[in-house]
Structure 1
Amino acid sequence: MTASYSTSVVSSWGSLTTGLGRGGNAVSSYWDTQTSGQSGSSLGAGKTTAELQAPTGYTGIYANWNRDLDGDGNGDDPWDFGTGSQYPVLKNTGPSVAGQRPESSDDPAAEQPDIPRQGLRRRRRRAD
């Protein structure tokens, strides 16, 4: 997994992304230690809310986030970094950039995007 972040608890990245739980990598991937309450993980790197919101472009921790999505060898500028008090959001993914950003608040947890999580259902195993 490359160029990602989470603002909530990361309890099992491996179950949501093929192979990560079995020796995969999380490259340039982060979680918010303040909004998640999580201090450690075997994948990615913990960052404060300020660290995740401070870069407003492809610099600092986001220097490697300008990914080549169409295979032409050039970065396709997929992220909108907003202001220094907002998390980055993906462009052209369905919800508008503005729709992915809640109104400003003094509470860092309130800045979490409310994006539906379709298809992420837990499977229950039957006890035989």
Structure 2
Amino acid sequence: GSNWASAELVESAFNVTDTYWDADLASGLPASVNNIPMGGDGKLTFELQCPTSPGDVSCDPTIFADWDATVWDFGTSTDYPVLR
């Protein structure tokens, strides 16, 4: 089976905010699929792995400012945050 939807339908049906992806890992990948933008903001690996707690001021505090440490395990400054 298959499913087809126009770019306009997909873009009007979804409103994703505060989405980040690792720009270092995505180097060379397309910015869109079937002319539908991937969305989100590319951040460097360092920026995504830096925080060890929500709102860590040594990092970009806006990315993880509202994340709950009882839900997310921030690990070390070389880990991506993961669900507990």
Q: TM-score range by the shorter chain?
A: 0.5 to 0.7
Q: Distance in 2 between matches of 1:86 and 1:20?
A: 32
TM-score (norm 2): 0.60
Q: Which consecutive segments of 4 or more residues in structure 1 shift more than 4 A?
A: 38-42
Q: How does 1:51-90 map to 2 (within 5 A)?
A: 51-59=47-55, 60=61, 61-66=63-68, 77-90=70-83
CA RMSD of aligned residues (A): 2.7
TM-score (norm 1): 0.42
The structure richer in helix per residue is 1
Taking every aligned residue pair, what percent have the same amino acid on both sides?
38
Match of 1:25 in 2: 15
Shift of 1:79: 0.6
Q: Are residues 1:36 and 2:26 paired?
A: yes
Shift of 1:42: 4.9
Consecutive unaligned residues in structure 2, runs of 5 or more: 32-36, 56-60
Consecutive unaligned residues in structure 1, runs of 5 or more: 1-14, 67-75, 92-128
